[in-house]
């Protein structure tokens, strides 16, 4: 199976977990888009009754165009189930790196409000150690970002300000901040690093999601594999 078909299979499998009369968090990225499209299909063919809270404008538009009813934290404080992608999933712990798609802050707020967080991905995202070739995205306040970057570098990474593919200005997130992509060597203690990053002045949130995922549905060459904290 190609990466694309693994992502599609994981998204379709996750859509089957969604139950009637629930509030669903919609993740961001290519894999989450497959999940949203599979949910749209269930809404259209089965009349599935859900309300959704998207984690980005992209997911918002995809869901709305497909006829999924949206809600917001002005109306509800909790989400039953969120399904989202990830950039790395640590085997065993299900700790995550997220945010290469730039939506990590909304994603973390929605995940934190959710009873269950299910992660969907292709098999290449499964790793023994987070970090290494994939940087940890860190969302920072724009003012004084240079000083925040220097403080982050002291934790042993090389922070790089993110730029859009085309453009003369640094990328500004939907919530108005910058992202520093912090390349670390393989991370030995992700929980400690997440604490260090989140206590750094100027940091809004990091892309390390520690102890948040309940399950990962991973597309593999042999089909879909489900990992829980027990099976890792
Ligand atoms: C966006 C994210 C995405 O979930 C992550 O980047 C995975 O995306 P994709 O499914 O396109 O590989 O964290 O902020």
Instruction: Tell me the per-residue pLDDT of 172-222, one tens digit each, with 9 for 90 and over.
Output: 999 999 999 999 999 999 999 999 999 999 999 999 999 999 999 999 999
Q: Which ligand 1 atom minimizes the distance to the CA of 120?
A: 10
7-61 pLDDT, tens digit each: 999 999 999 999 999 999 999 999 999 999 999 999 999 999 999 999 999 999 9
CA of 204 to the centre of ligand 1 (A): 19
Q: Which ligand 1 atom minimizes the distance to the CA of 98?
A: 13
Contact (Cβ atoms closer than 8 angstroms) between residue 205 and residue 150: no
CA of 87 to the centre of ligand 1 (A): 6
CA of 99 to the centre of ligand 1 (A): 6
- Strands laid side by side in the 208-209 sheet: 126-127, 88-90, 96-97, 208-209
What pLDDT was estimated at residue 160?
Answer: 98
Per-residue confidence band for 115, with pLDDT thresholds at 50, 70 and 90: very high
What are the C-alpha distances in Å from 214 to residues 54, 69, 104, 125? 19, 25, 18, 16
What pLDDT was estimated at residue 1?
Answer: 84
Q: What 3-state DSSP class applies to 166?
A: coil
For the cut 60, the answer to whether the pLDDT of residue 147 exceeds it is yes
Per-residue confidence band for 120, with pLDDT thresholds at 50, 70 and 90: very high
What pLDDT was estimated at residue 230?
Answer: 67
- Is 128 exposed, middle or buried (CB count within 10 Å of its CB: 0-12, 13-18, 19+)? exposed
Q: What 3-state DSSP class applies to 46?
A: helix
Give the domain 136-206 fold: Alpha-Beta Plaits (3.30.70)
- For domain 3-126+210-226, the CATH class is alpha beta
CA of 149 to the centre of ligand 1 (A): 23
Contact (Cβ atoms closer than 8 angstroms) between residue 27 and residue 55: yes
58-79 pLDDT, tens digit each: 999 999 999 999 999 999 999 9
Contact (Cβ atoms closer than 8 angstroms) between residue 120 and residue 32: yes
Ligand 1 contacts (CB < 6 A) are 7, 27-32, 84-87, 98-104, 107
Q: What is the DSSP letter of 128?
A: S
Contact (Cβ atoms closer than 8 angstroms) between residue 14 and residue 26: no
Active site residue 169: no
By most ligand atoms within 8 Å of CB, the mutation choice from 26, 54, 89, 100 for ligand 1 is: 100
What pLDDT was estimated at residue 231?
Answer: 62
What pLDDT was estimated at residue 172?
Answer: 98
What pLDDT was estimated at residue 124?
Answer: 98
Which pTM value belongs to this model? 0.97
**Domains of the chain by residue range:** 3-126+210-226, 136-206
By most ligand atoms within 8 Å of CB, the mutation choice from 3, 4, 59, 87 for ligand 1 is: 87
What backbone phi and psi angles, to 5 degrees, belong to 165? Answer: -55, -45
Query: From CA 229, how far away is CA 232, in angstroms rounded?
Result: 5
């Amino acid at each position: 199976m190609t990466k694309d078909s693994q992502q599609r299979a994981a998204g379709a499998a996750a859509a089957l977990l969604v139950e009637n009369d629930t509030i669903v968090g919609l993740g961001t990225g290519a894999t989450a888009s497959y999940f949203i499209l599979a949910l749209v299909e269930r809404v259209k063919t089965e009349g599935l009754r859900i309300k959704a809270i998207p984690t980005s404008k992209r997911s918002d538009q995809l869901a709305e165009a497909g006829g999924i009813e949206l809600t917001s934290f002005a109306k509800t404080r909790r989400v039953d189930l969120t399904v989202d992608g990830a950039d790395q999933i640590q085997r065993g712990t299900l700790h995550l790196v997220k945010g290469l798609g730039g939506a990590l802050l909304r994603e973390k707020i929605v995940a934190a409000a959710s009873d269950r967080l299910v992660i969907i991905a292709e098999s290449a995202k499964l790793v023994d150690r987070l970090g290494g070739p994939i940087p940890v995205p860190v969302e920072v306040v724009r003012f004084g970002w240079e000083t925040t970057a220097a403080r982050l570098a002291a934790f042993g990474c090389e922070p790089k300000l993110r730029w859009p593919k085309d453009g003369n200005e640094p990328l500004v997130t939907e919530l108005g901040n910058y992202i520093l992509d912090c390349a670390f060597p393989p991370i030995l203690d992700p929980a400690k690093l997440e604490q260090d990053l989140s206590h750094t002045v100027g940091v809004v949130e990091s892309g390390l999601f520690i102890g948040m995922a309940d399950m990962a549905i991973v597309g593999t060459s042999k089909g879909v594999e489900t990992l829980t904290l027990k099976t890792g």
